[in-house]
Amino acid sequence: MNSLNLQTDWQYDPAPQSTDHINLKESYDLFINGAFVPAKNNNHRNTINPSNEKIIAKVADAGPDDVNLAVSAARKAYETSWSKISHSERGKYLFRIARIIQERSRELAVIESMDGGKPIRESRDIDVPLAAAHFFYYAGWADKLKYAFPGRETQPLGVAGQIIPWNFPLLMAAWKIAPALATGNTIVLKPAETTPLTAMLLAEIIREADLPDGVVNIITGDGSTGSSLVEHPDVDKIAFTGSTAVGKEIMKKLAGKNKPYTLELGGKAANIIFADAAIDQAIEGIVNSIFFNQGHVCCAGSRLFVEESISDEIIFKLRERMETLIVGDPLDKNTDIGAINSKEQLKRIQEYVKIGQDEGGELYQSKCKLPNTGYWHAPTLFCNVSQSHRIVQEEIFGPVLAIQTFRTVDEVIEKANNTPYGLSGGVWTDKGAKIFKVTQNIRAGVIWANTFNKFDPSAPFGGYKESGMGREGGIQGLLPYLKLNPC
């Protein structure tokens, strides 16, 4: 009997998402004090669609003078309006932002996929609804802070400087802005240089929601803009999400400065499959853990640990499943894996794949056909690797999985913890006792059991070790933006 060739025999017709409702500008200014203003130095950079390398728009590049202006606007707004209005009034603004995000969800989803390369299915069903959910969730807390921290009086910190990465641009902005506003702080937010567009749409939404001028300021630019924000003497708190290397730099800069900071950094999560797991479900879980958002996920399950007795079966089934993953146009509703976010990131992933091969790893890549223009990487896995391999220890931030085996629960716990990171993890088994043992002994901020990459605004998220400090989400996500005083 001839076997089915999934690349040629079973094709879906294209199902492109319409872009008719998208109204992109040629050029975007900075959002300071409730208005869109050009950068003082008039510098711009292009933002590119990574799936076709076409320029989407020009975006202003904020220099130190613009950072100054944004911080002064945030300070003035804090003193004259935002710290003065009632907590329930603050909540109403957050509800309004959440509802407008829902109303403009299609537009946000399409622009997120164009600017960042992620499949429309993910931006439409995950990024945008979760961003709205975050605003709804923290809107609810705005007038209930005294119940969140009974017996304490809560006091905002003042002006929060917030810096976010490119992998979940709108969602990371929501994770930062919603709790800061709910607790009474004003904001200067800096999006990542390769994905500024949904943040600029969020600026429009904030205007539409009629927030007092200067409560939220959004300034685009690269690391030097972020650095000016970190060093600004009138910023009361820094919230950073990004790489561990930059997180360490920020720690050094803020040492001894009495400026609180939270750091959400990189990860190298262990995803552990026991022999008694529901195997087909686990295969889907592995795919979701490493190929979701092209593997550009801080909590991606990039290290797979499989109990030795089922490793052949898992690797066989995983390779078959990888062949069915559709890699291509992010705006096609059938696409599973979109474009790599930037040329630099693609180069970094390719370098790691070469390192993996040079160190003796056994490479397998799906045979999918990659488009000719744009930045693409096939779903990839490595077998025959050990704890000392660089692709097992270092964050790749791409669709590359390193597979190892284990025989006992204690062995896999030790291997899982043998990394500088501690952000997330996963465990797949039929036995509750094993779930408890593994989750209690792995040092990571979140560990999923028989699932992976599930997020909810009410659940705290954050890291141990070099994955960072502080929590975002849940009641814990309020704390980094508050001083708690005795009543």
Q: Is 184 or 242 the residue whose CB approaches ligand NAD more closely?
A: 242
What is the b/e burial string over 219-248, where b = at least 16 CB atoms within 10 angstroms of the residue's CB?
bbbeeebbbbbbbbeebbbbbbbbebebbe
Residue 231 binding ligand NAD, by CB under 6 A: no
The answer to the question of residue 395 lying near ligand NAD (CB under 6 A) is yes
Please report how close the Cβ of residue 191 comes to ligand NAD at its closest, in angstroms: 6
Tokens of 385: 């690797």
Smallest gap from residue 18 Cβ to ligand NAD (A): 29
* Angle, helix 64-77 to helix 223-231, in steps of 10 degrees: 50
- Active site (annotated) includes residue 368: no
Catalytic residue among 112, 122, 193, 298: 298
**For ligand NAD, the closer CB: 100 or 235:** 235
Q: How many CB atoms lie within 10 A of CB 457?
A: 24
Could you say whether residue 230 binds ligand NAD (CB under 6 A)?
yes
**Look-up: residue for tokens 């998220």?**
461
Instruction: State in angstroms the smallest separation of the CB of 419 from ligand NAD.
Output: 13
Q: Residues 161-200: x/- map of binding to ligand NAD (CB under 6 A)? A: --xxxxx----------------------x-xx-------
Give the footprint of ligand NAD on residues 263-322 (CB under 6 A): 264-267, 298
Question: CA nearest 188: which of 142, 222, 238, 252?
Answer: 238
Residue with smaller CB distance to ligand NAD, 91 or 165: 165
Q: Nearest approach, Cβ of 230 to ligand NAD (angstroms)?
A: 5
Alpha carbon 172 to its chain's center: 6
Asked if residues 116 and 108 have their Cβ atoms less than 8 Å apart, the reply is no
Q: Name the closest residue to ligand NAD (Cβ).
A: 226
**Residue 397 half-sphere exposure toward CB, CA atoms < 13 A:** 21
Q: How far is the CB of 459 from ligand NAD (least distance, A)?
A: 13
| Alpha carbons 113 and 339: distance in angstroms, whole number | 9
Residue 122 sits in the site that holds ligand NAD (CB under 6 A): no
Between the alpha carbon of residue 478 and those of residues 40, 156, 179, 474, the distances in Å are: 34, 10, 6, 7
Among 314, 396, 423, 447, binds ligand NAD (CB under 6 A): 423
- Nearer to ligand NAD by Cβ, of 277 and 400: the residue is 400
Q: Where do the H-state alpha helices sit in 104-144?
A: 105-116, 120-122, 128-141
Active-site residue 298, yes or no? yes
How many residues bind to ligand NAD according to rule CB under 6 A?
29
Considering only CA atoms, give the Rg of the chain.
23
Question: In the set 79, 107, 222, 394, which binds ligand NAD (CB under 6 A)?
Answer: 222
- In the chain, helix, strand, coil percent, each to 5? 40, 20, 40
Among the listed residues 304, 344, 412, the one whose alpha carbon sits nearest the alpha carbon of residue 193: 344
Q: In the complex with ligand NAD, which residue's Cβ is closer, 132 or 423?
A: 423
Nearer to ligand NAD, 112 or 264 (CB): 264
Which residues, including other chains, have CB under 8 Å from residue 337's CB and lie 6 or more apart?
A: 119, 291, 294, 325, 326, 327, 328, 379, 399
When asked if residue 453 is in the footprint of ligand NAD (CB under 6 A), the reply is no
Query: Mask: binding to ligand NAD, 455-484, rule CB under 6 A, as x and -?
Result: --------x----x----------------
Q: Which is nearer to ligand NAD, 154 or 467 (CB)?
A: 467
**Residue 447 near ligand NAD by CB under 6 A:** no
- 349 touches 400 (CB < 8 A): yes
Q: Which residues are catalytic?
A: 264, 298
Residues of this chain that interact with ligand NAD (CB under 6 A) are 163-167, 190, 192-193, 222-223, 226-227, 230, 241-243, 246, 249-250, 264-267, 298, 395, 397, 423, 463, 468
